Amino acid sequence: MKRELRSDCPVAASLDILGDRWTLLILRDLLLSEKSQFGELASQESVATNILADRLAKLVDRGIIERVPDEADRRKFRYRVLTPGVELLPVIAELVAWGVKNTDVPPSAQFEPMLDPGTRATFVGERTKQLLDQQ
C-alpha cells in the first residue's frame, strides 16, 4: 500500500510510515526482544488492540514486517521483521541511548548494551546478523 508522499524530504517520508508512538514501540519489541505474537507487542504500554492491529497491518503492507503462521499452533500468527525493519535497529538503539541520557527513565539491563557507543555498535551488528539469519 504505497501512498503519495507529502514532500520529497526523506525525513518526512520516513515519519509518514514510522512517526507515531505505537509503530516504534512495536518495532522495539520485534527488534530487541523475543516478542512476536499480537498480544505481546507494545503490551508494556497497554496499546489498544484496534490500534495494534492497524499499525501491524500498515507495517505488513509496507514490507517492514511479515505475518507468518505460528509453527506450534497454526491457528495463531507471529510477526517477523523483514530487512527494511532490521535496518531500523540502529535508529531504535540510538533512541534508547538518547532516552536514557535525556529523560528521567532509568537505565535497565535490557538496554545496557546500547548505552555506550562502542558496545552499541557491537550489539547492533550482532543483533542485525541474528535477525537476518532468521529470515
Is pTM, for the whole model, over 0.95? no
Indicate the pLDDT class of residue 135, thresholds 50, 70 and 90: confident
Please enumerate, as own/partner, the contacts of 126-131 that have beta carbons within 8 Å and a separation of 24 or more.
Answer: 127/31, 127/32, 127/89, 128/86, 128/89, 131/31, 131/81, 131/86, 131/89
pLDDT score for 2 = 59
**Using one digit for the tens of pLDDT, what is the confidence trace for 63-78?**
999 999 998 888 899 9
Can you say whether the dihedral through the CA atoms of 55, 56, 61, 65 is positive or negative?
A: positive
**Using one digit for the tens of pLDDT, what is the confidence trace for 10-25?**
999 999 899 998 999 9
Do residues 85 and 64 lie in contact, with contact meaning Cβ atoms separated by under 8 Å? Answer: yes
Q: How many whole angstroms separate alpha carbon 19 and alpha carbon 36?
A: 21
Domains and CATH numbers, the chain: 10-133 (1.10.10.10)
Range of lowest pLDDT (1-5, 18-22, 76-80, 96-100): 1-5
| H/E stretch holding 67 | strand 65-69
Q: What are the angstrom distances between the C-alpha of 70 and each of 41, 78, 80, 89, 122?
A: 15, 6, 11, 24, 31
Can you say whether the dihedral through the CA atoms of 120, 121, 123, 127 is positive or negative?
A: positive
Residue 3 pLDDT > 70: no
